[in-house]
Structure 1
Amino acid sequence: MALDDDIALLARQPLLSLMERDALRLLAFAAESRILRAGDVLFRVGEPSDGAVLVISGAVALDSREDGQPAQEIVGPGALIGETALFAAVARPVTAIAREPTQVMRLSRSVMRRVLAESPASAEAIAAAVAQRLQGFVGQLAAVQEALTALERG
């Protein structure tokens, strides 16, 4: 796949689309492309994260349970798995397994940090978007708390 194609794929991600083109170019250049066979495990629930994975083609099953039940979610081309892991070391909340031959692009947190350090405008845009998301989550939590309080009273 050509570098310009990789940049275009990254630019389709809501958070990454906020980055300057040169920053996306650096991120795409440093990304690792992998071809997976059906059944290959990308990572398991609880493992430490080192970045995100963008599905280029194929399908990946995501499941937080290890009980043999059908996957909780199947994602396909364009899905960014583990976006938070681009910015923070977190435990993987799901196991990710290729359901069919699948091509992915691995984006490492260390590269993302270097790219954002070299592109302050991109870093500021992403920080603002993350702050806005957090404010939305806090609002949702407040609404849930109000609903629970109302149930306790009622």
Structure 2
Amino acid sequence: MVLLAQVALFRDMDRDALRLLAFSSERRRLRAGDTLFRKDDISEYSFVVVSGSITLIDDDVATAIVGPGTLIGEMALVSETRRPTTAIAREPTVILRLSRQMFRRTLEEYPATAAHIAAELRQRVLQISDELAEVKKRLIEMGPEETGPKSSKR
């Protein structure tokens, strides 16, 4: 339960809600090289790294290495989506597997917790929106000759 309380999304959860989520989670052990999930898999669970580390890979390129206290696949808690990356254990790793069904049940039973999490997710969406607006602005400033496909002259 202490580890879940350190995860940003769960930080403001009611203690009883957090306890319910912790007790309903499933602890799994991975060996170095084990695949947790593959890109484009349908997401049913979210994972918290307890110990060890996981490499996130997109198109054969490592995009991140995450360790203890990291929540992987948080969108799986609220919606069925496809995994944007492949996740592979870099070393012997222990993870907690959290189900969407139990997460939803927790939110139903603890409405104050649901409100905190909704506020956190809203903040993240706003932050992503701001970041995308900045990228768009930079692309516009660069102009089409710098961002578009190169034309070949014959």
Smaller-chain TM-score bracket: 0.7 to 0.9
Decide which of 131, 136, 149 is 1:145's aligned counterpart. Answer: 136
Structure 2 spans left out of the alignment, 5+ residues: 146-154
The corresponding residue for 1:53 is: 47
The corresponding residue for 2:90 is: 99
1:93 aligns to what SS in structure 2? Answer: coil
The corresponding residue for 1:4 is: none
2:11 aligns to what SS in structure 1? Answer: helix
The corresponding residue for 1:123 is: 114
Structure 1 spans left out of the alignment, 5+ residues: 1-6
Correspondences of 1:17-96 after superposition (within 5 Å): 17-65=11-59, 67=60, 71-96=62-87
Q: How far off its partner does 1:153 sit?
A: 8.7
Counterpart amino acid of 2:135? V
Q: State the number of aligned residues.
A: 145
TM-score by length of 2: 0.87
Q: How far off its partner does 1:39 sit?
A: 1.6
Q: How far off its partner does 1:96 sit?
A: 1.0
Distance 1:117 1:59 in 2: 32
The Cα RMSD (Å) is: 1.7
Q: Deviations over 1:125-147 (max 9, x none)?
A: 11111112212222222222223
Counterpart amino acid of 1:110? Q
Distance 1:82 1:153 in 2: 35
2:8 aligns to what SS in structure 1? Answer: coil
The corresponding residue for 2:102 is: 111
TM-score by length of 1: 0.87
